[in-house]
Structure 1
């Protein structure tokens, strides 16, 4: 009886310890590569288990002992194969062997005082329920209480001893019902420690005592062992997975992805705002003389004063002008056409690229030599807002005028206009067409 009390205390302590661990342990999801409501093919669903322990006729709960109250500990062993059908439910086929014995110290003369039932084998199919994986509060806890119940066949050969004689009955195979309670501890991704206590209801002749007040005999199996998941190493075990953990992980991943995309859009938007502000600053004309601050060499010109391409006032001299007939030759037109062909600007800016300087120098020399007048008309494609395109086209025409004036051309002979996307010479539906529409036209007169 004292030994029975010790075993009972040990199992109760184990229960409290496991419950405490179940409540306090950090959740360790093993759900990489799985999706909410995904197929079981995302998991390893097969596992095997081996364990060993102690077989006894009596049990820690103190019922159905048939008078065999004195412990007679014997080694038992077991192995099983399990198929997990859902995170909280599986079916397992179990083998168990060993021997069970009991002593009735209060047996009357002629009654069975001791028995020993050898169990070479037993085979049962059980339904197993993992309680942790049905609890949404604890996501993939390391400690998982479980309960299983099944039905199987038990082979046994019982030897009974009375005060007079020992008798061995013929080997029998009868139905039995195993009920297993315990805890599984997840130590790695695919390995669990299995601690359990199994009650087995067997045929009433299991202990060799004629039928009495109990319709069946009961023996217990306290065991410890390991459970190993089978399958690909990169997959998690279905028995270690909680559906809530998978859902939370999927939600968190999508939230992080959307947050990253949002931050990228905000950064791109801020960069675009900076570019627009820079362009607006370049197009400012504080004195209102028609020349942007960027190119205005005489800022603060009074309103109404006529200025040249550099923004400086034009001095009009009272002198007699001799009007000469202007003749534009084919060679002159060729110089202008070459300048148009070679004229290039930085992307979305009015900065002339150095590759265009040589041909513009020849245009400037032509204007100086023959005193030609020149009309500059800037155009863009239809990409962007109309306001921005009008400003950019005007700015580019002004940039060409400023360059020619800087080379000695008379600013009064050069007119600069911006027409934006108006009057395209090609379609804006193709990159090639848009390239042709981005131009500055030169007209000599």
Structure 2
């Protein structure tokens, strides 16, 4: 019996797989594939009630206490899918009636309609869902005390499944299903034959269970709304545009188009937000002009170099890092460029590259992190043409000068600074 039922189940599973392949091969994939999972596994347990095909004098429990089913479901899209499931029911007598013990097995292939998506449940809830399912299958009834052998039959099945989403991976379900058997040769109690000619047995199942969603995406098709996703993507794009139109360094060029988002305040920039530096000495022309006028008695170039050196050694030129990272932030790479240009214009100079970390974490780890940060900056400088012998790495570890409970203050000390000599 079990071997025959298993064979039928394998046939149904092959049919389901073939249906899946047809769906995926007949529909050409779009450039922007929907990001939702399609597979799920369903496990349920509950009660049963044979509605008809009982021998006079025999009666089953009002709610039979053993029903279970296991299913695998594939959704072609958020509204339609296919399910292969197997079920088992144990049917027994109620009090003060003749004894019987029957076992009912079934395997069913069912279509699934996601009523939650079809009825736009997402407009008012993201927690509750509703599935309708129905199809056909094969069944087997056995009763060792009532008749010999097994009663094999076909059946139609239909039901409703309520869903409560517990997470993106699990949903709690409640299901009510009706099964109609065709060509059932024995009553459910096993002690008589049905009085009807074709559709003899009617069995009702009520169960609760869990659905487990499989796949790498965040949501399953049960909870994926194409309209909501399109709206969310549109909101994200608007937010991105609004954010990128901010002009952080107040140079008149929005961050979206600004190649130098940390320009010195007040200096002239080009259409790409870069400070104008015609002689490529690392000092914006406007600032250089001011320095020339202010220090003209000492010689403008010497004064400029001295002032640039004072800015570097005074800690005004830094390279910053994200938390627990040894990769410089893109916005702060101009600090390395500032040092590189100075060293190229002053070949007799060298520089200490000094790394720091904030106080979060183990001190020895933070010391090593500060070294890695300094090494990363040194690598950028050497790749830009500065000889490694002119650069000395120093790991200063944790900077304890700020309130370590302040996220903003910790960002300031996650840095590399320089000392030229």
The alignment's TM-score, normalised by the length of structure 1, stands at 0.46
**Higher alpha-carbon Rg:** 1
The alignment's TM-score, normalised by the length of structure 2, stands at 0.48
